[in-house]
Amino acid sequence: FSADNTIKYYTTTSRIALQKMIFKILIYGRAFFNTNGPGKPYSGVGSAEPFGSWEAGVWDYKALPRPGATEQLDFSLIVSWSYDLVRRMIVTYDTL
């Protein structure tokens, strides 16, 4: 798999114009602690492991959703996140 081959396939075989394509690379998610969910106040992003895989509050995309969290998708807003009710941690990231 390569991005170059994928784009070439869609522009030649499927005849989709390159100008109409959006290419996303999913890399990380941002964490927020002590919150009751989206749109609610939070306090902190964590301070050390296990509060991030790169740095405090930043999780590698392949580590998401975190164990114990439930992934949520909102197609009307085109947003996604995971929420851990026990840890009261929300992580925002792209999946859509």
Q: What is the pLDDT of residue 50?
A: 66
Closest by alpha carbon to 93, among 78, 16, 84, 85?
78
* Strand partners for 80: 73
Q: Tens of pLDDT along 37-65? A: 988 999 988 765 567 788 888 999 999 99
Contacts of 49 (CB under 8 A, 6+ apart): none
Asked if 53 and 27 touch (Cβ cutoff 8 Å), the reply is no
Domains, the chain, in order of start with CATH, read 25-92 (3.10.50.10)
Helix (H) or strand (E) holding 73: strand 70-74
> What pTM did the predictor assign?
0.73
pLDDT at 1: 64
* Average pLDDT for 14-32: 87
Asked if 15 and 29 count as a contact pair (C-beta separation under 8 A), the reply is no
Q: What is the pLDDT of residue 48?
A: 52
Please check whether residue 28 is in contact with residue 44, taking contact to mean a CB–CB distance below 8 angstroms: no
